[in-house]
Amino acid sequence: MQCGIGNLTVAVLLFTGAALGASSSTEPLSGLPLAPGFERTADPIQSYDYCGKKASIVLYLGRQMSELDQESAWYTRAMPGAAVFTSNTGVKTFIKPDGTAAVEIAGAFISFFKFSPGLVPAEMKILGAEPAARSCTAD
């Protein structure tokens, strides 16, 4: 009995430690994962209409010089199943499959978006092609 309790205690400690080590912070507006080393800027949350939907955006800045490739790899792991777009300027946009939230990464800056209701695939493509666009028009 003593051995069973000891093994259970060790298993709980290992599981708890693994969960704590694997956890990342969550960005409050979007509910998306926030990559390590980024802090919110003093800019207020901005609200606007996008494709006839309510949209909000907030900006974060990296504490050190960030590598776009590292951020892209991090968000690829952190957001499996996301729709991913790369603009002609190199900015990458990761959008939740339901279209309700997105993150755009651009080196030292990342922007988080919240949409209500969620974007449909055509609207996701427009956002991915024109990072931080305030209008919803296809080219």
Residue written as tokens 């991913």? 84
User: For residue 123, is it within any domain?
Assistant: yes
Domain, as residue range, for 77: 25-129
Residue 138 covered by a domain: no
Which of 32, 47, 45, 46 is closest to 104 using CA atoms? 32
Quick one: CA dihedral 77, 81, 86, 87, positive or negative? negative
- Asked whether residue 96 is domain-assigned, the answer is yes
Longest dimension (CA), the chain: 70
Is 5 domain-assigned? Answer: no
Task: Quote the pTM value.
Answer: 0.79
Note whether residue 35 is domain-resident.
Answer: yes
The reply to whether 9 falls in a domain is no
Mean pLDDT across the stretch 60-65? Answer: 81
88 domain residue, yes or no: yes
Query: 3-class DSSP state for residue 9?
Result: helix
Residues 6 or more apart whose Cβ sits within 8 Å of residue 137: 126
Number of domains in the chain: 1
What mean pLDDT is reported for the chain? 82
Q: What pLDDT digit, counting tens, does each position of 27-58 carry?
A: 999 999 999 999 999 999 999 999 999 999 99
